[in-house]
Amino acid sequence: MALARAHHLLACLLASALLAVVSPVTGGLLMTDQLEILFGQTQLLNDSNGDQTIALTLDRVMGSAFRSKTSYLFARIDMDIKLVADDSAGTVTTIYLISEKDWNTHDEIDLEFLGNVTGQPYTLHTNIFANGEGGREVQYRLWFDPTQDSHTYSVIWNPDEILILVDNMPIRQFRNHLDAGVPFPIYQPMRLFGCLWDADDWATEGGRVKTDWSQAPFVAYFRNYTADGCVPGTYAWVCGQGPAAGGDWLDRGLDDVKQQQQLREAQDKYMIYNYCTDSKRFPDSFPKECGLQ
């Protein structure tokens, strides 16, 4: 699973490297102000209100992808996504933040939506890499049908923690424990990517259920992208103290009692896998951060 996924991410990064350099534009109202198409049969849809939607497509030939025009060193990212409908087994729809230099020391924050046969819930697979070290998988069953309407998926990444939210409800928190020797993505800027790709060797029930290509093309829809973050530059490291000042996400934690309760509810009701409780994978001792969360 890890090798196939790594090859996919490298392919996305290679495709982006072959593009002409585009001057970053932030804060625009249109998707095209902030995002650019990488490859595949990707459509840009415009509604009567002038709002834009990116439709990523997957067929037997290839998937499709986009990326943000800007890299960030800490940010809040929000995206509305409507996932592949009907039989989506074998497909993976992703949004992820990733650094773009040395793969062996890269940082990454993943939200991967693993397709399933009709009538079955989607699995949201999350992972965090820091300094090339990953393996921090936590999975959830989505408690709604993500193919009927768009839902908002968010990442808050600041120097203290990473929060992953669904419809503004926190489901995962990963705190910065660098002082305890736990790697945390704090030094490298990251860019957002969105991809739709075939991963039927592992995505659905561990690869048991394969992609039904008679259902192709598969389509996922992305809209209402917003990014509030520190753009790398002179003031990036002191985010909030210079022209790249951050918003309330910069020092945001789960101080709100309601959100703390929501996080516990998500973990109790919807979490189906947590690497910090996988004794088969870690028979001797769990990763250090598991006892610090």
Per-residue pLDDT tens over the stretch 161-196: 999 999 999 999 999 999 999 999 999 999 999 999
pLDDT value of position 8: 52
**By the 8 A CB rule, do 90 and 199 touch?**
yes
Cα–Cα distance for residue pair 201/59, rounded to 1 Å: 16
Selected catalytic residue, list 36, 100, 112, 289: 112
Looking at the domain assignment, is residue 12 inside a domain?
Answer: no
Q: How confident is the model at residue 80 (pLDDT cuts 50, 70, 90)?
A: very high
Average pLDDT score, the chain: 87
Whether 148 maps to a domain, the answer reads yes
- Which residues touch 141 (CB under 8 Å, ≥6 apart)? 121, 122, 123, 124, 270, 272
Contact 258, 265 (CB under 8 A): no
pLDDT of residue 12: 56
Structure tokens at 59: 């067929």
- The whole-model pTM stands at 0.88
- Please name the amino acid found at residue 39: F
Query: Of 64, 66, 75, 73, whose CA–CA distance to 27 is shortest?
Result: 75
The answer to whether position 11 is within a domain reads no
Question: Is residue 289 annotated as part of the catalytic site, yes or no?
Answer: no
Neighbours of 41 (CB within 10 A): 16
128-141 pLDDT per residue, tens: 999 999 999 999 99
- The domain that contains 170 carries what CATH number? 2.60.120.200
| Residue 283 within a domain | yes
* Residue from 56, 113, 21, 75 nearest 226 by CA: 75
In Å, the largest CA–CA distance within the chain is 59
How many domains is the chain partitioned into structurally?
A: 1
pLDDT value of residue 5: 54
Calpha distance 137→55 (Å, rounded):
27
The reply to whether 19 falls in a domain is: no
Which listed residue (36, 100, 108, 265) is catalytic?
A: 108
The parent domain of residue 122 ranges over 31-291
Q: Say whether 112 is catalytic.
A: yes
CA angle 121, 86, 38 (to 5 degrees): 95
Class of residue 115 by CB neighbours under 10 A (exposed 0-12, middle 13-18, buried 19+) = buried
Is 137 part of any domain?
yes
The string of pLDDT tens digits covering residues 84-114 is 999 999 999 999 999 998 999 999 999 999 9
Domain annotation covers residue 20 = no
pLDDT digits (tens, 9 = 90+) for 221-232: 999 999 998 887
**C-alpha distances in Å from residue 193, one per residue of 10, 71, 132, 217:** 12, 10, 18, 21
pLDDT in tens, 215-260: 999 999 999 999 998 887 655 455 655 444 556 788 766 767 888 8
